[in-house]
Amino acid sequence: MDVDLLRPGVARPSHNTVLWFEFLLDPSLLENHLQKETPDPSPTDLIVKFLSIAPDTKEAESKQSENEPSENSKNEALGSKRRYKYLALKILALKVAAFLKWDLTLLERRLPLPMQLTLLQDLLYLTLEKDADVEMHLELDLGSSPGHVVFAISLYHRWVLRAVMYSRLAMKQTRQPYIPVPGLQDPTYVPPNVSEDLVQGLESQVANSIAVLSHIVSGTAVPTVPVFDTFVMLTEDSTDAQQNWDKCAEVSSAEFLCQVGESDFPSVMYEM
């Protein structure tokens, strides 16, 4: 349920409904909320809310550099607080995804395509601890890479192949017209041209994603899966994002190979 108390005339709908900013104020609230039988908002609704509030990190930093002089220490401090708030929201979204056990089917069904991409890019950023071109993943020594890195990379490239396949299926179906409701903005709505451009970009990555997954499957690397407690919330005193990568779940080689096989990447390549 999307509630924005900053909008005039909006009242809290129910004493059982938790508002998004409460999770920033009380880090222990998120897990308790997700463990409810019918949490309101739902886990995927929370991811949508967190990511719709947090802008793209690079874009935010670019705007800050344009609008705030670097010599002004006060402005720099305010900019840093904003960046940490955005990062905290992204970490919250990743914690929810980990709680959902990285269920791609659920995420694909409930999140708009751009948010799916943002979520997985944020995971890559935290695991690799830097911005890395996905085209360069094939050059990484995945055999000696930590398990959480192998997981993030394999999850991303599995998602690329699935997204391309599902987009082709959607193209064969009749597109329903979008009818906006006056006064309401749906954060899950994506203009057709934006989706088409994104899918075209993903299609250009298919060959690379297949190569990366084939390399992982043929090797000995076994991923470890980030769980809810892997991701550490930022505090007012935080100067950097440090995650507990030791708190990851083990996964068997057979289970991992089965997950990769679900992407059915040979058929994707055949259709290219």
The pLDDT assigned to 119 comes to 97
DSSP track, 20-57: TTHHHH-TTHHHHHHTSSS-SS-HHHHHHHHHHHS--H
The pLDDT assigned to 147 comes to 96
**Percent of the chain residues topping a pLDDT of 90:** 49
- At residue 194, the 3 state secondary structure works out as helix
Tell me which amino acid residue 90 is. K
Answer for the pair 17, 40: CB distance below 8 angstroms, yes or no. yes
Across the chain, mean pLDDT equals: 81
Q: pLDDT: is 89 or 167 the higher one?
A: 89
The pLDDT assigned to 7 comes to 39
**CA 42-45-47 angle, 5° bins:** 115
- pLDDT per residue over 212-236, tens digit each? 999 998 888 889 999 999 999 987 7
The pLDDT assigned to 167 comes to 84
Q: pLDDT: is 255 or 180 the higher one?
A: 255
CA atoms of 184 and 12, how far apart (whole Å):
17
The pLDDT assigned to 158 comes to 96
- pLDDT per residue over 86-141, tens digit each? 999 999 999 999 999 999 999 999 999 999 999 999 999 999 988 889 999 999 99
Which of the listed ranges 145-159, 179-193, 194-208, 235-249 does the model predict with the highest average pLDDT? 145-159
Letter string b/e over residues 199-215, b meaning 16 or more CB atoms within 10 A of that residue's CB: beebbebbebbbebbeb
CA atoms of 272 and 254, how far apart (whole Å):
28
For the entire predicted model, the pTM comes to 0.81
Alpha helices (H) in 111-251, listed in sequence order: 113-128, 147-171, 192-203, 206-218
The pLDDT assigned to 18 comes to 81
Q: Which of 175-189, 218-232, 238-252 has the lowest average pLDDT?
A: 175-189
For the chain, the maximum distance between any two Cα atoms, rounded to a whole number of angstroms, is 58
CA atoms of 110 and 45, how far apart (whole Å):
8
- At residue 187, the 3 state secondary structure works out as coil
Average pLDDT over residues 55-81: 52
